[in-house]
Amino acid sequence: MEKQLKSVLFGHRPKKTCYHPHASKENCSNKISKAHTIQRNGGLSHLQIGGEVIQFEPSFHSIFTNKGKLEPKPVGVKKASTFLGFCSYHDSKLFEPFESHDFKDTREHVGLLTFRSLCKEIYEKEDKKLLHEKVLTFLKANDNNKYVEISLSLNPYLAGIDMALSETYDLKKKLDTCILENNFDEINFTSIHTNVFTEIMLSGAVAPEFDLHGNRLNNLEFPLNINDYIAVNIFASENEGRILFSWYGKNIKNEQFVNSLMEPQNNEFSNRVFKMAFEYFENTFISQKFWNLLSMGKKKKIQKKVMSFPGNRDAYCFTSDNTKYVKPWKINKVIESYH
């Protein structure tokens, strides 16, 4: 039966959909695009060697073959950060303002990028739920004892996914309205410009659990407000790095989270952001050159961060590890929409 179960896991194919608010059979093109959440040319190209970047691949295949651990693997920049979440027409048209032009610190550009990050999170949660349900269906049909055992551990996990999906669907409805009405006044953000391209790039949306000082911001075991979610995008724009935090509406907790990361002690901002990337975001990519130069000890510490999750995350994850992973990034300027 183990061989059959492997075929269920490894034979799973991600769904194809379009998350545009006007998506329909009539409005969408026939082709679903491999939508990049991080620009291939403007972002990932700065990290690649031989057309590849490094990622801790968040897949069942990786966990199954590596005894429960996520391992760093090279991934081609054509594939990296992509998901099947928009038809080619809407992918091209919706994000044209910053894909065909330089990214600007405007509520429109930030709102569209926030929307894409959120859609990626929704897509991944829906896909994980579908795969887990396939596993339970297979076990129920082939080994009821194993089904009972596995379902006891998976059901709370699936309930957590359902709760997170409900919250992110509600947030998506708000962002849908922003797009349909072409009004992004409710989008707030902090945009940090650095003098160098960062060693990592990412795109995602989470509800952060703790700030720099270990103060709890959100308890993910309970329902959240939609504006508790914060999108984070780290990418390259023009000749500098960009670290962008964004959210919908007024949210003191998100401001607290960002401000704590930016506290000026000891030029620690770059390492705080680096740790945040691996603590919170699966869709994170690493410079090949940078990764190859890291010591084995640092690589193991990064892997440990990747394996953290709600419930086992260290409240002081930004400060308990004093390791210096990256050299300080000089901040050229900071733009905030809410001051």
Domain boundaries in the chain? 187-336
User: 10 Å Cβ neighbour count for 313?
Assistant: 16
pLDDT value at position 290? 96
Half-sphere CA count of 34, side-chain side, radius 13 A: 8
Query: Which residue in 228, 226, 239, 232 sits closest to 189, CA to CA?
Result: 232
The DSSP-derived string for 93-119 is HHTHHHHSS---SSHHHHHHHHHHHHH
- Reduce the DSSP state of residue 309 to 3 states and report it: coil
Q: How many residues does the chain have?
A: 339
pLDDT value at position 311? 75
pTM of the model: 0.93
Mean pLDDT per segment of 10 residues, for the chain of length 339 residues? 68 89 96 89 85 85 67 92 96 93 94 97 92 81 72 76 93 98 97 96 95 92 86 92 96 95 84 95 94 96 89 87 93 90
Q: Which two tokens stand for residue 296?
A: 């084995």
